[in-house]
Amino acid sequence: MSKTFTVGCIQNCAGKDMNANLAQCDELVRDTHAAGAELICLPEYFTCLDVSSAGFEVGAWSEQDHPALAHYKALAQQLKTWLQLGSLAIKSDSNKILNRSYVIDDQGQTAARYDKLHLFDVDLSDGMSYRESDTVEPGDRAVVAATPWGHLGLSVCYDLRFAYLYRALAQAGAQFLTVPAAFTKTTGEAHWHILLRARAIETGSYVFAACQYGRHGKAETYGHSLIVDPWGEVLADGGDGAGFVTAEVDVAKVENARRSIPALTHDRPFAEPRLALGAVETDALTRKVS
């Protein structure tokens, strides 16, 4: 395995027109590849995203017929580069969709797929409400993909708030973590940088987080696609606007961080938490029971 490689994160503002989104991201992928990126990461729902009073429009297709999947498989093969397709909307066997992330190898083959586990059902302080579970069926397993540089742990957007997922991915061998997102501007301004740095520090992993920016109907996303090293240092920040960022990844830094603070090996079993009662309350409860 190569000990160093260049990763790129693309940032776009998707709308309803999938063809227009594909054309823009195609150009960005080519530019990122020309800048030396060997693994290129794209955001969640990068091919179609619009939010209205009627709900989400994310351009759902069956996996075998999805035009974006076929397009980017061909592009990966043409450029001889690895692509991490942040997520596509895939029709499931139910009447819902899957928010599915893909890793495509440099031969245009699917190396891994992951269905988003945690669904964004929230009411934000800016008045916006989201009910992802109304239209999306959650996944049921974590996924680590093998790459020429090491192991890549997959996640999507709201997964970021569930630290146990990333610990499990790292303990399963992941040295790099992907967090493609369409993080809202409200939550992004408050939490995006902090949470991504925390996930990197907690696991001693690189984090690659490609995020959409701008307005998508009623919704607004944050941008600031980040590449973070295993010590929590931000190596690249995409800011607000279309484009891409790149950074050199040194796999040895993962080994060094985990050797310096081997927290991934320090898990201990413990009893389920219970409410601790003070001495007065405990005595009273004992008298009442007896």
Give the active site residue among 116, 185, 220, 253: 116
Is the CB of residue 250 less than 8 Å from the CB of residue 4? yes
Q: Which of 13, 25, 41, 44 is catalytic?
A: 44
Q: Is 157 part of the annotated catalytic residue set?
A: yes
**Catalytic site residue from 38, 157, 220, 253:** 157
Query: If 0-12 CB within 10 Å is exposed, 13-18 middle and 19+ buried, where does residue 146 land?
Result: middle
Distance, in Å, from the CA atom of 167 to the CA atom of 283, rounded to the nearest integer, reads 40
244 burial level (CB within 10 Å; 0-12, 13-18, 19+):
buried
- Measured CA to CA, the distance from residue 276 to residue 131 in angstroms comes to 35
Pick from 199, 167, 168: nearest CA to 181:
199
Between CA 17 and CA 200, with CA 240 as vertex, the angle to 5 degrees is 105
Alpha helices (H) along the chain: 18-34, 67-79, 163-171, 185-187, 193-203, 252-260, 279-289
Alpha-carbon distance of 250 to 253, in angstroms, equals 6
Beta-strand relationship, 176-178 and 150-154: parallel
- Amino acid of residue 224: H
**116 is known as an active-site residue:** yes
Alpha-carbon span 40 to 32, nearest angstrom? 7
Active site residues: 44, 116, 157
